[in-house]
């Protein structure tokens, strides 16, 4: 059996899920990363590539993302020839996931700019995006700890199954998350600003908290003032107001004593 032979991660049926979402779905057992196999794929777009396990899963800035069996590891390949989707798309997708979890009877979920999901102060989800010029598409990598907390982040992460009192099952949860993501993409780039208007309801950071933002080799310290309509982080510093696009901020954290 090839380690990339089609299987059903989390019990997801590629055929049924593809029909439900209106996209092509490809499933794998073991891959380096779903981003890699998505780039190597020559099939019709849009498509979702889902793997049971990844050996080289990664997050923003190529940080390692542990990918054990039992969690959701996927890349959505979405046509975007005019590059209309803004960087704030990831924030909109994470917001959609938070709303979906709670809307399906799950725990209260929050979002950390630009692309992380948190529950009870612990990370459960992350996303990244990359342009695919050769196909005029956008590749969106999504990961969620559905059933398992990876050992290497056990002190800072959580899994949905551990936070969800009336657990509906990994398959149902994974389907709802993918459906939410595809729904945002189908709504188009124009829907992103409207979604971000709801960001304060889910924000990990409260307005006015002191943050440190690392960007272009410098560390900026100031009061957090939320996001702009286009999804940039606003920081009020001693020298004025500074905004950061998601691709410019390498690290955002609470300032010492903030």
- pLDDT tens string 31-72: 999 999 999 999 999 999 999 998 875 554 455 556 789 999
Cα→Cα distances 235→18, 219, 224, Å: 42, 12, 5
3-state helix vs strand vs coil in the chain, percent to 5 = 30, 35, 40
Residue 152, pLDDT score = 87
The domain segmentation of the chain, as residue ranges, is 9-201, 205-254
pLDDT at res. 59: 52
**CA-based end-to-end distance of the chain:** 54
Pick the CATH number of 9-201 from 3.30.930.10, 3.30.413.10, 3.40.50.300, 3.40.50.850: 3.30.930.10
**Does 2.30.30.100 match the CATH number of domain 205-254?**
yes
- Looking at per-residue pLDDT, the higher value among 257 and 119 belongs to 119
């Amino acid at each position: 059996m090839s380690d990339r032979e089609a299987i059903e991660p989390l019990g997801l049926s590629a055929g049924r899920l593809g029909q439900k979402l209106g996209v092509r779905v490809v499933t794998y057992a073991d891959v380096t990363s779903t981003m890699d196999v998505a780039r190597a794929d020559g099939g019709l777009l849009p498509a979702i590539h889902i793997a049971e396990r990844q050996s080289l899963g990664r997050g923003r800035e190529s940080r390692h993302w542990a990918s054990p069996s039992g969690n959701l590891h996927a890349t959505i390949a979405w046509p975007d020839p005019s590059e209309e989707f803004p960087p704030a798309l990831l924030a909109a997708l994470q917001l959609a996931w938070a709303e979906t979890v709670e809307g399906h009877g799950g725990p209260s979920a929050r979002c950390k700019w630009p692309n992380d999901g948190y529950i009870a102060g612990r990370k459960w989800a992350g996303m990244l995006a990359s342009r695919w010029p050769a196909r005029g598409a956008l590749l969106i990598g999504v990961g969620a700890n559905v059933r398992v907390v990876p050992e290497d982040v056990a002190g800072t992460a959580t899994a949905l199954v551990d936070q969800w009192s009336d657990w509906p099952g990994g398959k149902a949860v994974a389907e709802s998350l993918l459906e939410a993501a595809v729904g945002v993409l189908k709504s188009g780039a124009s829907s992103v600003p409207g979604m971000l208007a709801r960001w304060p309801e889910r924000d990990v950071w409260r307005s006015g908290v002191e943050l440190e933002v690392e960007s272009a080799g410098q560390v900026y310290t100031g009061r957090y003032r939320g996001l702009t309509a286009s999804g940039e982080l606003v920081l009020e510093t001693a020298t004025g107001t500074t905004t950061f696009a998601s691709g410019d901020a390498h690290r955002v954290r609470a300032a010492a004593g903030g």
